[in-house]
Amino acid sequence: MTRKIVIVGYGMAGSRLAEEIRRRDTDNVSVTVIGAEPHPAYNRILLSSVVGGGMTPQMVRLHGDDWAEKHDVDLRLGTTVDGIDRAARTVTLTDGSTVDYDALVLATGSRPWLPPTEGLLNDGVLAPGAVAFRTLDDCEQIVAASKPGAPVAVVGGGLLGLEAARGLASRGNLVTVVHPVGHLMERQLDAGAGRVLAATLATLGIEVRLGVKAARYLPGDGLKLDDGSHVPADLVVVSAGVIPETTLAKDAGLTVERGIVVDDALRTSDFRVHAIGDCAQHPGTISGLVQPAWEQAAVLADLLTGAQPASRYRGTPVVTRLKAKDVDLAALGDVHAEVDSSDAEVLCLTDPTRGRYAKLVLRDDRVAGAIVIGAPDAAATITQLYDRGIPAPSDRIALLLGRALPPGASVAHSPADLPAATTVCRCNTVSKSQLVKAWRGGARGVSGLATATRATTGCGGCRDTVSAIADWLASSEETTP
């Protein structure tokens, strides 16, 4: 008997789940995927690259045209689910047809939250010249509407808004970000980091307006802000946050709070109905990120196929990485502890002129939170320590700065200062003292020292050092009567 699995949603979460199921199982379950958009699944993470021009819509597709057929998936595109009949275990599609399920998975994602800006909505849809930043179609609209040199306003200074802003600036647009809070990315950053980020964006030609709301949208003209000022814009991109798409679940009587409530087995209040991705609400993570969605997909595939009945989703530690060219920003964990905190060790370094900010929060010797702007190596290392729960190195400053060591061995200092035991020629294990001894034994010049000690005869990389030592020995001999 094959079990019928129906996945509602063919986005990052739904498509991944179908893949994960087929990776584990090819026979025992049937898989139906219902996607609202007309395209094959695409990688939402890369949409800012589409806006920036680095990638074409074709390149961000997650699946080829033959994916469904190759993996025996019943894929229905351009259709949505109107309702769930939990008693009959069927879903009804917009065309009136029904699909039976043994297990139903809601992967309906989220939809943009639209601010109450006057004139932004016409009959519930965005007015001409305003576009959300959520779907591939949105991106194509943005690309079509944003001619290089044209002014564009981005409503929302969160992660996605800033990625869109950076993409648009790369295309040559004059971008203004309008953000209602006092600093950018307030969910992930403290005020100091927000200031450094705004300064960095300014150097890339992105203007940031903080603590103001867009009061009115004037198509073809721009935005009027609630402080009375005006932001000129041919195009307004709205990226002010998302709302989990829970309508279906609510209508079906499932428990819904902000999102569809799920347990560690990713079950909703009906054990036959699961939810993953942005639409789901699990206590261990926040929604809106792909990493949790993919981890949930893997766990749910384990459970639905019976491959790993003990598999559970326990949450995903969140690491926020801004994907914006020339802005390197990472934020993770608890970032709001202050330097004088009594229950945490907190370090903070600010260099706004050079676009650098590094804050590190440690508890019990482990990284509890961090913000790193403009120091990619530090960000990468701190993230590893955080994810792996490894005790942090005791040299905290080196950790904060990134690379602890200067690259490359230096030959710069005087041979006189070199400790006698220093290995000069690695290939032949020749120390400075052996070279000195050879000199005393009558060896002269690089070739003489080479013959006596074999220094320089391997890769030859120490030739300069040996030469310097030979010169130093020669000169010290001259000065010694």
Partner 1 sequence: MTITAPLTGTIDTHCPYCALQCGMRLAGKTVEPREFPTNRGGLCQKGWTSAALLDSPGRLTEPLVRVDGELRPATWDRALDLIANQLIEIQATHGRDAVAVFGGGGLTNEKSYLLGKFARVALGTSRIDYNGRFCMSSAAAAGMKAFGMDRGLPFPVEDLQQADTVLLVGGNPAETMPPFIQHLKSAELIVVDPRRSATAEQAVLHLQPAPGTDLALALGILHAVVADGHLRHDYLADRTTGFDEVWRIAATWWPERVERVTGVAAADQRAAAAMLATATNAYVLTARGTEQHARGADMVSAWINLALALGLPGRAGSGFGCLTGQGNGQGGREHGQKADQLPGYRKLDDPAARAHVAAVWGVDPDSLPAPGVSAYELLDEGPRGLLVFGSNVVVSAPHAGRVEDKLSAVDFLVVADVVMSETAAMADVVLPVTQWAEEDGTLTNLEGRILLRRKAVRPPANVRTDLEVLHGLAQRLGQPADRFPVDAEEVFEELRRASAGGIADYSGVTYARLREGEALHWPVPATDHPGTPRAFLDRFAHADGLARFVPVDHSGPAEPPDEEFPLQATTGRVLQHYQSGAQTRLVPELMKAVPEMYVEVHPDTAARAGLENGDLADVVSRRGRVRARVRCVASIRVDLVFLPFHFPGEGRANLLTNPELDPTSRMPEFKVCAVRLEAA
Binding site for partner 1 (CB under 8 A): 43, 45-46, 49, 54-55, 59-64, 291, 319, 321, 323, 328, 376-377, 379-381, 383-385, 387-388, 390-394, 404-405, 407-409, 426-429, 454, 457-461
| E-strand stretches of 309-422 | 319-324, 327-333, 345-351, 356-363, 366-373
Reduced to 3 states (helix: H, G, I; strand: E, B; else coil), residue 46 is helix
Phi, psi of 382 (to 5 degrees): -65, -40
Q: Residue 15 CB, nearest distance to partner 1 (Å)?
A: 10
| Least gap, CB of 27 to partner 1 (angstroms) | 22
Toward partner 1, which CB reaches closer, 410 or 480? Answer: 410
Taking the complex as a whole, the smallest distance from the CB of residue 214 to partner 1 amounts, in Å, to: 29
User: Shortest gap between Cβ of 86 and partner 1 (angstroms)?
Assistant: 33
Residue 62 beta carbon to partner 1: minimum distance, rounded to whole angstroms: 7
Q: How many Cα atoms within 13 Å fall on the side-chain side of residue 322?
A: 34
Dihedral angle of Cα 270, 273, 276, 281, to the nearest 10 degrees: -20
- Quick check: helix, strand or coil at residue 172? coil
Output the CA–CA distances (angstroms, integers) from residue 28 to 8, 42, 72, in the order listed: 20, 27, 12
| Beta carbon of residue 205, minimum distance to partner 1 (angstroms, whole number) | 20
Structure tokens that stand for 105 in this block: 């998975």
Shortest separation between residue 359's beta carbon and partner 1, angstroms: 18
State which residue, 73 or 223, has the beta carbon closest to partner 1. Answer: 73
At 387 the three-state DSSP class reads helix
Question: Closer to partner 1 at the Cβ: 55 or 218?
Answer: 55
Nearer to partner 1, 60 or 169 (CB): 60
Tokens of 154: 């981005």
Q: Do 223 and 217 form a contact (C-beta atoms < 8 A)?
A: yes
The amino acid sitting at 156 is: G
Nearer to partner 1, 219 or 376 (CB): 376
Smallest distance, partner 1 to C-beta of residue 137, A: 19
Strands (E), 43-100: 73-77, 81-85, 90-93, 98-100
Q: What's the token pair of residue 116?
A: 């109450």
Q: Which is nearer to partner 1, 227 or 387 (CB)?
A: 387
Tokens standing for 266?
A: 């990713």
Nearer Cβ to partner 1 (78/461)? 461
The rounded radius of gyration (Å) of the Cα atoms in the chain is 30
Helix (H, G, I), strand (E, B) or coil at 199: helix
Closest to partner 1 by CB, 63 or 282 = 63
**Which residue number, 177 or 450, has a Cβ lying nearer to partner 1?**
450
Structure token pair of residue 249 = 């679940």
Query: Cα–Cα distances in Å, from 143 out to 54, 147, 172?
Result: 12, 8, 11
- Measured from the CB of residue 290, what is the shortest distance to partner 1 in angstroms? 8
